[in-house]
């Protein structure tokens, strides 16, 4: 489905800015997607590749002349390779105020375990 969006799309493509944080519970990816609605955002996981695509289209104002434009319609595309330390079944995404947060929880085998020391 994602490939269909990209092939049919004649919009300019952008690589959205992203921050990746590792915390005890897993990895958090924050991605700037200004103007993208939830309906226009697609997140696909194929084997170990996570692909995020989204698009934003601004309607052209009638009876106006473009003098200078620094933002406009476009498609966002970003891919990440994830390791087996991520529990792929529990990945979650939220979108708020143009920022998407992906939460990639660590698999149980990747979470460090504390070894208790027994007294003699």
Write out the DSSP string of 23-81: ETTEEEEEEE-TT--GGGEEEEEETTEEEEEEEE-PPPPTT---S--S--SEEEEEEEE
CB 77 within 8 A of CB 11: no
Q: Which domains does the chain have, with CATH numbers?
A: 2-58+72-109 (2.60.40.790)
Query: What pLDDT score does 5 carry?
Result: 46
User: What is the rounded average pLDDT for all residues in the chain?
Assistant: 86
> What is residue 8's predicted lDDT score, i.e. its pLDDT?
54
pLDDT tens track for 64-79: 787 877 777 889 999 9
CB 75 within 8 A of CB 7: no
Mean pLDDT on 7-26: 84
């Amino acid at each position: 489905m994602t490939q269909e969006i990209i092939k049919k799309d004649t919009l300019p493509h952008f690589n959205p800015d992203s921050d990746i944080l590792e915390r005890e519970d897993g990895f958090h990816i924050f991605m700037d997607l200004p103007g993208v609605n939830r309906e226009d955002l697609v997140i696909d996981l194929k084997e170990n590749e996570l692909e995020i695509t989204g698009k934003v289209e601004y309607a052209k104002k009638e009876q106006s002349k473009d003098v200078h434009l620094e933002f406009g319609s476009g498609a966002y595309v970003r891919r990440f390779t994830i390791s087996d330390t991520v529990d792929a079944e529990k990945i979650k995404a939220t979108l708020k105020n143009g920022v998407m947060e992906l939460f990639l929880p660590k698999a149980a085998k990747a979470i460090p375990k504390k070894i208790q020391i027994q007294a003699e």
